[in-house]
Amino acid sequence: MFLFYAVHYPHPEKEALLIQGMHEFGELIKKQPGCICVHTFRDPENGTLIALAIWESREAFQASWPILVQDAPSEEWEVKPREVHLLDSAL
């Protein structure tokens, strides 16, 4: 199993746009072979958004990502660059 997650730092006035963009992007991800689930989370205490996608394998993620990333939500809606984390299962 493989986990992709990103921490987003939205401009307060652009948060709704970013959430909508993340949901639309999530729908594209869900259609990819090997995608298990996709979720968007909001942390109201620190104003961040978390994108989470679980894949069957790193290979499934890597096969889809080059095409998907072209439709990722705009980074112009964020106050600083998003943090992206790629994690393999610890067996």
Q: pLDDT value at position 91?
A: 78
Greater model confidence, 69 or 28? 28
39: domain CATH number is 3.30.70.100
Q: pLDDT value at position 72?
A: 87
Residue 70 has pLDDT above 90, yes or no: no
Instruction: Copy the structure tokens of residue 32.
Output: 């990819």
- Give the model confidence (pLDDT) of 19-42 as tens digits: 999 999 999 999 999 999 999 999
Residue 29 phi, psi (nearest 5): -60, -45
- Distance from the Cα of residue 12 to its chain's centroid: 19
**How many domains are there within the chain?**
1
Residue 74 has pLDDT above 90, yes or no: no
Q: Exposed e or buried b for every residue in 60-75, given b needs 16+ CB within 10 A?
A: bbeebbeebeeebbee
Domain that residue 69 falls in: 2-88
Query: Largest Cα–Cα distance of the chain, in whole Å?
Result: 42
